[in-house]
Amino acid sequence: MFLVACKSAIRRPKEPWRCLYYWKTIFAPSASEKQKADSLGVHTLYIKLFDVVWNPANGLPEPAAKLLVRDSAWLQTKSTIPVVFITNESLQHLDSAQTDQLAGNIYGLVNKIAGQHHFAAYQELQIDCDWTKSTKATYFRLLQKIKALHPDKILSATIRLHQVKYRQSAGVPPVDKGLLMCYNMGDLQAPDVTNSIIDLPVFRQYIDHLAQYPLHLDAGLPLFSWMVIFSGNRFNGLIRNPPETPDQLAAFKKEGVGYRVLKDTLIDGRLLQQGRFVRLETSNYKTVEAAGRLLADRIRSAKLNVALYHLDSITLKKYSLHELENIYNSLH
C-alpha cells in the first residue's frame, strides 16, 4: 500500500493538448488529412516555415524550402506554432555579429511569412536544431537573441533524447520550454540496428532522469516510416513512406534485421540494385503507444502539447482513428 501511495504521488494525471506537425513545403492538406485532424480534435499545428542552411558560395547561412500556403482558410481554424529548422553546418563558422544578424533575419522572415498567411498572432516560435558541442555556444547565443526580439512570445526548442541523457555536456538551451523528440533514437547508418526511429529498450535508457530536466517539456511522437538503404555496410540513403505489405516486398528476402534485394527494383523513383541490403523501419502503433505511457510516468509537465509527426495522408492511413486516439491518450 505504501508503494502504491508513493507512485500515485509521483504520477500526476497529464493534460495532453493534441497537436500535429506539418513538415511539407506547400501547405495544402487533402480533405482526408483535414478530416482526420478534425476528428481527432487536433487544436494546434506545428508548421515548418523554412530551413536555415549553409551556402558555401557566399559563406553565409540562408533560408531554404520556404513555406507556401494554399489553404489559409483551414489553417486559420487552428492554433499555429511556426517552426524553423536550422542545420548544424549553418552555425559552425559564425562569429558573434553574424549570429546576431542571423537572429534578426530569422525573426523577420518568420513574421513576414506569418503575416502573409494570417497567423501573425502566433504565441510560440519553435527552433529545431540538433546542436553539438562545437555549435552549442553559437546556437545558445542565437536563441537568446531571438528571444530578446520577441520577449512577449514563447520560445521553444526541440530536444533530442541524447541531449537529455547527457545534459551536462549538451547543455540546456536558453528557451521557455522544450519539445522532447521521442524518435530517431538509434544509429540510422548502422546496418545492424533494428529500428532507429523508435525502439523501447533504447528509449528506456534515455528517459531515466527525465523528471530532473530543468525545462518544461512537451512531447513529439512518430508516425512515419522509411526504408534505409545500404551499399555493402555503408549507408546509402532513405526512401520515405516505403511499401510495408508482403506482396509489395516480393522482390526482397528477409535477412537479419532487414531485407536483401533479389532483383533490381524501382521504389518511389529510386532504383534498388540487386544485392543491396535495406532495413524497413516503422513507427509501430503498439510501440508508439507504449513509449507514450513510459513518457507519462517520467515527464514532470502536467499540461503539455503532444505532437504527432506528421500530418500526411500516406502516414495517417496506416493508423485507425482509435489507434491515434490511444496514442494521444497514452500521455494522460
Q: Would you list the domain boundaries of the chain?
A: 13-223+287-329, 226-281
- Residue 301: predicted pLDDT: 87
- Residue 241: predicted pLDDT: 87
Give the span between the Cα atoms of 250 and 121, in whole angstroms: 51
Structure-block grid coordinates of residue 72: 489559409
Residue 271 burial by CB count (10 A; 0-12/13-18/19+): exposed, middle or buried? exposed
- Residue 5: predicted pLDDT: 39
Query: pLDDT tens digits, the chain, 332 residues: what are they?
Result: 344 434 433 456 689 999 999 999 999 999 999 999 999 999 999 999 999 999 999 999 999 999 999 999 999 999 999 999 999 999 999 999 999 999 999 999 999 999 999 999 999 999 999 999 999 999 999 999 999 999 999 999 999 999 999 999 999 999 999 999 999 999 999 999 999 999 999 999 999 889 899 999 999 999 999 999 999 899 999 999 888 766 677 889 999 999 999 999 988 889 999 999 999 999 999 999 999 999 999 998 889 999 999 999 999 999 999 999 999 999 99
Give the span between the Cα atoms of 250 and 262, in whole angstroms: 9
The pair phi, psi for residue 165, each rounded to 5°, is: -65, -40
Is the domain covering 13-223+287-329 a CATH 3.20.20.80 domain? yes
Place of cell 504527432: 308
Q: DSSP letters of 49-98?
A: EEEEEEETTTTEEEEES--EES-HHHHTTSEEEEEEEE-SGGGTT--HHH
- Residue 249: predicted pLDDT: 77
Angle between helices 321-329 and 31-39 (to 10 degrees): 50
3-state secondary structure of 328: helix
